Structure 1
Amino acid sequence: MGTLQDFQKLVIANAKDAKGLKVGEKAPDFVLPNALGDSISLSESLKSGPVILKFYRGEWCPLCNLDLREVQQYMGQIKKFNATVMAISPQKPDDALSMTQKNELEFEVLSDSDQKVIQAYHLQFDPGEDYHQRRDLLLLNGDGSKTLPVPATFIIGQNRTIIAAHVEANYTERMSPEDIITFLERTI
């Protein structure tokens, strides 16, 4: 494989079929461990307000770190809507703790190490052999798999209905905190 751009194009092409759940669909409930190993439930979190659910590739991903740090900067505004933010990756709880501490995050970072929640939200994909030669997902993922989630953001209403979704095969494009807040201002 040639340039970094060629590599990125290949990864994006391999992710094109991971479309994610759509607005209006019911968000699958889940219980996942947070960075400290405590069980966190979507349905329990929804009792206090909407949930902003961010799926990311892992603490090793610089773009994911930037995205989650940017969300952290807007937590004061997000909390005004009684919204809860949760981030989910296929890594182990220890790696979630590293992500939380490294980025000084005030929201839950959850471990979906068997990728069952990632699958339930239709985000799982195999980035391809060239990717595997560059990054060993067998060591990075909690279940030792070669798959990743497409980075995605879902805003979930208290009735577990997805009210906003941003699922993009191009892992460099994420739903910004400004877009999240604008959506919350219009709908909550």
Structure 2
Amino acid sequence: MLRLLPSALLLLGTTTVFAGELAAAPEQVHPILLGSRLPQVPLRTLDGQPTTLHDQVGGRPAILVFYRGGWCPYCNLQLSRLRLIQQDVEALGYRILAISPDRPEELRKTLGKDRLGYTLLSDSPANALKAFGIGYRVDAKLLAQYQGYGVDLKAATGEAQPVLPVPSVFIVDGHGELQFSYSHPDYRVRIPASVVLAAAKAIARQDQVEHP
């Protein structure tokens, strides 16, 4: 779903969720609004070194892909398909940054498995997920359900209380402003890479008009 909402709130029954907070379920998240400034949050690299989203973006336009983890087949397929547009978006000046709650050691497994050519970053404490308004708590019931599937979220994230993102794609321009947002509470639904590329091209054209 494309997000262009008039408020920084999402009302679902009696539940009000603000960007910057964790939701109780995927259906209750509310991504930050278009026009928002790029949140400044700490992350970790593949080597476990501290970094920030600001440093990783480096003042360039960027495509930010939030995925659930290397254990998720839908995520791995999405990450793999992004390689099809990588050359085109990089020619436009974009960086692709893929962010998940996986700890750095798990990121290495994903990178080696899929031979990705772009940057993977760890957000296991869920700082970025909170800042972008796409994180939700994994309760005991859901945690046990994943364990039944052979997925140990505590081990993957290194956190006693894991947080997952609603899979999302954000595009920021070279001025650090959010220009595109796609999120879907059904983790099986992912935006096609071709649509991401089309959005990136449109944003680049608009930026050339506004900042010749």
Relative to the length of structure 2, the TM-score reads 0.76
Distance 1:14 1:31, change over 3 A: closer
Report deviation, 1:128. 4.6
From 80, 96, 105, give the equivalent of 1:85: 96
Matched, 1:177 2:188: no
Deviations 1:139-163, CA, capped at 9 Å, x for gaps: 2223232321111100011221110
Using the aligned pairs only, state the percent identity: 24
Distance 1:39 1:72, change over 3 A: farther
Contact map agreement 1:32 1:39 (CA 8 A) in 2: yes
User: Aligned partners of 1:101, 1:57: CA distance in 2, in Å?
Assistant: 17
Counterpart code for 1:178: S
User: Aligned partners of 1:112, 1:127: CA distance in 2, in Å?
Assistant: 15
Mark the structure with the bigger radius of gyration. 2
| C-alpha RMSD over aligned residues | 1.9
Deviations 1:32-74, CA, capped at 9 Å, x for gaps: 2221234443323444631100111100000000000000222
Corresponding residue for 1:115?
Answer: 126
Deviations 1:12-38, CA, capped at 9 Å, x for gaps: x93111121121111202342221234
More displaced, 175-184 or 122-131?
A: 122-131
* Matched ranges for 1:89-168 at <5 A: 89-135=100-146, 136-168=152-184
Contact map agreement 1:48 1:83 (CA 8 A) in 2: no
Report deviation, 1:131. 2.4
Distance 1:33 1:50, change over 3 A: same
Counterpart code for 1:154: F
Report deviation, 1:187. 2.0
Q: Mind listing any 5+ residue stretches in structure 1 that lack a counterpart?
A: 1-12
Contact map agreement 1:21 1:121 (CA 8 A) in 2: yes
Deviations 1:77-124, CA, capped at 9 Å, x for gaps: 111111000111111101011111111011111011111111111111
Corresponding residue for 1:29?
Answer: 40
Relative to the length of structure 1, the TM-score reads 0.85
Contact map agreement 2:173 2:203 (CA 8 A) in 1: no
SS of alignment partner, residue 28 of structure 2 = coil
